[in-house]
Amino acid sequence: MTKLLNKVLFINNRRTSMRLCSKEWQLLDLICSCEQISRNDFLEVMENSNHCGLGLTYYTRLFIMLYFYNKSSLGDIKTRRHGIGSKSFINEIVTTIQ
C-alpha cells in the first residue's frame, strides 16, 4: 500500500497541510517544474480557483489527473503556455473543473 505523506505548506499567507501519496507529490513537483512555478504558488492557484467547494487535497488530485490526461494524446486541451496566466495550460485545466 502507498504511504501518505503529510507536508506543511504556506498558502495565501497561512499555514496548512496536505496529505498525498509519494507519487502524487512527485507528479505535483513535476507539474511545477514543467510550468515554471513554485509548489506554494501553484497550490495558491488551486485554492483561489476552487469555486466548486472541493477540498484542496481532492481538487489538487483532480487537477493532477486532468493535467496528465491533457498532456496525453487523449486530451482535449492543446495549449502549451507555461505559468499561471489567463491563457496558460494550468488555467485551461482549472476552467474544466468548474
**Complete DSSP assignment for the chain:** -PPEEEEEEEETTEEEEEEEEHHHHHHHHHHHHHTT--HHHHHHHHHHH--S---HHHHHHHHHHHHHHHHSTT-S------SSSTTSHHHHHHHHH-
| Count of domains forming the chain | 1
pLDDT at 67: 87
pLDDT at 17: 93
Best CA proximity match to 19, nearest among 54, 66, 58, 64: 58
pLDDT at 88: 72
pLDDT at 85: 59
Q: Is pLDDT of 79 > 70?
A: no
The better pLDDT of the pair 10, 79 is held by 10
pLDDT at 57: 94
| Domain enclosing residue 78, as ranges | 4-97
